[in-house]
Chains A and B, each alone.
Chain A
Amino acid sequence: MMKRRSLVLGLLAGLALGTSAQAQLGPGKTITLMVPYPAGGPSDAIARIIAPRLQQVLGQTVLVENLGGASGGLAAMKLLQTPADGRMIFQGSPNELILSPLTNPDIKFKPSQFRHVTQITRNPLILLARPDLPANNIDELIEYSRKLGKPTPYGSVGVGSLYHILSEDLAKQAGLKVTHVPYRGAAPMFQDLAGGAVDFAILPYQASYKGLQDQKKLKMLGWVSEKRDNFIPELVSFGESRSLPKFDHAIWAGMFLRSDTPDDIATKINAAIAETMKTPEVRAALEKMGSIPVDTTSLAAAQAYFEAEVAKLNGMTKDMDFKIN
């Protein structure tokens, strides 16, 4: 009996030799970095920059796993099904963890089921307009929209996306009438923005915007923040406007665990991410992608930030009577 069992064990070990995460026995041997989108997207790219360095720092194999679907909801649900032992780190953003459960009734988790370990990157947002719009900054856009006499159409990458909510909030604060035109992601939206079908959109900064503006394919109206950003210092910010000087938002990504993960494990992962994010190569690679690496904060600060974001987005969606029909 003993012999047979060891034979089976030996066979399995042979199969498992030097292979994937699941193959190593015993808890805590390998770490899965869960990316809630298919391989090849921007968040996958971030994970693949971070994973090799994180592996060195932790001295454990770190594998990137991609599970797309339901705007990141499927991956978040998978995290909640694994044990709270820190072996699965979720690389997420407000889009998956806060907004997805708010907008999709089939997503049953709540943001409070996640523990924020630390922020890793931040992307500044930009207000874009169609190339022939008779407005060059946010003040002029508001003036144009008021005079239009009908709702101003604006594009977003999807219902319930951060950009949808921010645009609605912008319209509400400025007292504008707008029509939300949702798209399947940024590519088709750009097509219609450049073609002049929609008037404006809020999107994260990309280096190609400048060239597109020169080609008269779109127009940049300003940074969605109080201060100008170094990527294009000559572009004005909302902070300089008369109408919305306090309108300051950005999209960020961070690392998450299950909320019931023990403190010592969370602390260890927080320290490892901090070490990883200090590496110059990692920072340089992230900056190349147009993301700003964010210095790691303490666990408590990270959690407080996450909770503040949850409260903020909850408030914004509640105030605007945000509902799906």
Chain B
Amino acid sequence: MHIVRSPKDFYAGLIYLGFGLAGLWFGAAYPMGTAGRMGSGYFPKVLSGLLVLLGLLAIIRALRVEGSPVGAIRWKPLVLILAGCSLFGVLLQPLGMPIALFILILCCAMASREFRWDPRALAGALGMVAICALVFIKGLSVQMPLVGDWLITLLGKV
């Protein structure tokens, strides 16, 4: 018999507690002011305190009330998709939108169980990149570089 009867409540409580404590810790220096003339720290501290309280309540509940277990985490899609978004942000300026977007699509595709190295899928990804470049950069003039800074310097030296 586990002490934690409701793992979902337990972990959610930990998250609330974590955010609450972080809020108190990082907000420690913000001045409280008075109730009549509140400083910038008043709301953060009150809210963080409330969150700590709710976190503790959720944890107590997790020990007393039966609940369902947390489903298993599949790391592959989680990591690949988050990494894809992050990489897109990092690579956009240095490599330009088409290459960064292609990498993002690749990351996404690999996250799927259906993924195969298939020339048609590759063509689809390239087509997607081309369409996005046309629609967003040409059509809607989103301010993204087609060729990145880093590539320009690299090619400039050739």
Contact = CB atoms under 8 A, between A and B. Distances in A.
Interface of A: 5, 9, 12, 15-16, 19-20, 22-23, 25-26, 65-66, 325
Contact of A15 (B39, B40, B98, B143): B98
B151 A12 contact: yes
A23 B155 CA distance: 11
Contact of B155 (A9, A19, A20, A325): A9
Contacts of B152: 22, 25
A23 B145 contact: yes
A5 B158 contact: yes
Contacts of A325: 31, 39-40
Interface in B133-155: 133, 137-138, 143, 145-149, 151-152, 155
B146 A19 contact: yes
Contacts of B133: 15
Given A20-B137, A325-B40, A15 B31 contact: no
A23 B143 CA distance: 12
Q: How many of chain B's residues touch chain A, expressed as a range?
A: 10 to 19
Nearest to B143: A65
Contacts of A16: 146-147
A20 B151 contact: no
B68 to A, nearest CB: 43
Given A15-B147, A19-B137, A22-B152, 14 more contacts: A9-B158, A12-B147, A16-B146, A20-B137, A22-B96, A22-B147, A23-B145, A23-B146, A25-B152, A25-B156, A65-B143, A66-B143, A325-B31, A325-B40
Contacts of B96: 22
A168 B31 CA distance: 22
19 contacts: A9-B155, A12-B147, A15-B98, A15-B133, A15-B147, A16-B147, A20-B145, A20-B146, A22-B145, A22-B146, A22-B147, A22-B149, A22-B152, A23-B146, A23-B147, A25-B156, A26-B156, A65-B143, A325-B40
Interface of B: 31, 39-40, 96, 98, 133, 137-138, 143, 145-149, 151-152, 155-156, 158
Contacts of B137: 19-20
A283 to B, nearest CB: 27
Contacts of B148: 22
A26 B96 CA distance: 17
Contacts of B31: 325
Nearest to B141: A20
- Identify the 8 closest CB pairs spanning chains A and B, nearest first: A22-B145, A16-B147, A23-B147, A325-B31, A19-B146, A23-B146, A15-B146, A12-B147
B86 to A, nearest CB: 20
B36 to A, nearest CB: 12
B129 to A, nearest CB: 10
A61 to B, nearest CB: 13
A5 B138 CA distance: 27
The winner among A5, A22, A26 for most chain B CB atoms within 10 A is A22
Nearest to A27: B156
Contacts of A5: 158
A150 to B, nearest CB: 13
